[in-house]
Amino acid sequence: MSNRLPTRTVGPLTVSAIGLGCMNLSHAYMPAPGPAQAERLLRHALDMGVTFFDTAALYGFGANEELLARAIMDRRGDFVLASKCVLGEIDGKRGLDGSPRAIARMLEDSLRRLRTDHIDLYYLHRLDRSLPIEESVGALVRAVEAGKIGAIGLSEMSAATIERAHAVHPIAAVQTEYSPWSRNAEIAVLDCCTEHGIGFVAFSPLARGLFAGAVNSPNFAPGDIRASMPRFREPNFSYNLALFGQLQTIAREAGCTPAQLCLAWLLSRRPFIVPIPGTTNTAHLEENLATLSLDLPDAVFAMIDYVFTSRAAAGARYSRAAQAQIDTEIWLDEELDT
């Protein structure tokens, strides 16, 4: 029996107000949990009332989708399933291909791995600048018409690109990193979502683990993507760790954890924002979901805005190579690859 959590709408979909980002169960942050631990976490999330699970073809080159299939697909009617295409495995390496042919192939592979014939929300994971966005969206429109996907999403794309995509077919959701230290969505994307009734899915809402207290050193295990991110390299890391110290102080005075404070702040920004924190730990999962029972005063959120201005963090979000695939707007004086 699942608990009931407050819900929000993402385009035509109704989901728990906090979802689960599944990436770090198979990909990117090391060490990854073992299969049994990951499957328990997914089932526990479903039992706790989470009804929004986010995966992608890229994560573990399909292993994350296979994990969801083993763990929770027997309860397919209890949740909204989101996955992504364009980024994935190409000739044994990470690659980007937004062509209609590649999208169709990736979708079939994802459906097979997920052991389903329908994905509720399917994103273009990144913008393939080698062809018009209209062509990539057109491939997803055909998938909607074939009943293979229910709604179309975009990840890490600018307001201008969203407008072009939305002119082809209604966009249900935009997914972008959003947290107190990554506020690029506030430049234009959130207003674009408001105008068109598009849901906003906030990934990495806890600063890739830093604001959950999970990162105390810039020394990461081999294969951890944070080692290549400027914000997690010195001297930036020490500066950003001090920012986390200020967040801890605000949270302590508010009577909650830093992670809960970040999630509550995000939920207060717009009524259509749904954070999708990831975790490998059931206690942290429960802590995150307990945010939905908090009632924090606006003065607490004002303190977040005071400390975390739009460019408070030291260092860029991504390395220069990774930033080349990101279409989201940047601030005029934002540091790149430092």
pLDDT for residue 70 is more than 60: yes
Half-sphere exposure of residue 245: CA atoms within 13 angstroms, side-chain side: 7
Mean pLDDT of 65-79: 97
C-alpha distances (whole Å) from 120 to each of 172, 246, 298 are: 10, 39, 34
Mean pLDDT of 81-103: 94
Tokens read off for 308 = 């975390």
Question: How far apart, in whole angstroms, are the C-alpha atoms of residue 319 and residue 120?
Answer: 32
pLDDT for residue 333 is more than 80: no
Mean pLDDT of 48-62: 97
Read off the pLDDT band of 338 (50, 70, 90): low
Range with lowest mean pLDDT among 59-68, 90-99, 152-161, 187-196: 90-99
Percent of the chain with pLDDT over 70: 98
Q: In what order do the strands lie in the sheet with 20-21?
A: 20-21, 52-54, 80-85, 119-124, 149-155, 173-177, 199-203, 273-275
Range with lowest mean pLDDT among 51-65, 79-93, 151-165, 249-263: 79-93
- Using DSSP's 3-state secondary structure scheme, residue 157 falls into coil
- CA torsion angle for 237, 241, 247, 252 (degrees, to 10)? 160
- Could you tell me the residue ranges of all domains in the chain? 7-209+259-294
pLDDT reported for residue 2: 65
pLDDT reported for residue 310: 81
pLDDT reported for residue 226: 96
pLDDT for residue 86 is more than 70: yes
pLDDT for residue 1 is more than 70: no
Q: Tell me the pLDDT of the chain averaged across its residues.
A: 96
pLDDT reported for residue 157: 97
CB within 8 A of 138, min separation 6: which ones? 100, 168
Catalytic residue (one of 59, 122, 123, 318): 59
Question: How far apart, in whole angstroms, are the C-alpha atoms of residue 205 and residue 305?
Answer: 15
Q: What is the pLDDT of residues 121-165, one digit of tens each?
A: 999 999 999 999 999 999 999 999 999 999 999 999 999 999 999
Read off the pLDDT band of 90 (50, 70, 90): confident
In CATH, what number does 7-209+259-294 get? 3.20.20.100
Report if pTM > 0.75.
yes
pLDDT for residue 243 is more than 60: yes
pLDDT reported for residue 228: 94
Q: What is the pLDDT of residues 6-43, one digit of tens each?
A: 999 999 999 999 999 999 999 999 999 999 999 999 99
- Using DSSP's 3-state secondary structure scheme, residue 79 falls into coil
Q: Which residue has the higher pLDDT, 2 or 214?
A: 214
CB within 8 A of 215, min separation 6: which ones? 208, 209, 226, 232
pLDDT reported for residue 335: 67
Read off the pLDDT band of 76 (50, 70, 90): very high
pLDDT reported for residue 230: 96
Question: How far apart, in whole angstroms, are the C-alpha atoms of residue 151 and residue 65?
Answer: 18
pLDDT for residue 296 is more than 90: yes
Mean pLDDT of 61-74: 97
pLDDT reported for residue 332: 78
Cα radius of gyration (the chain):
19
Known catalytic membership, residue 29:
no
Tokens read off for 158 = 């600018």
Range with lowest mean pLDDT among 73-87, 197-211, 321-335: 321-335
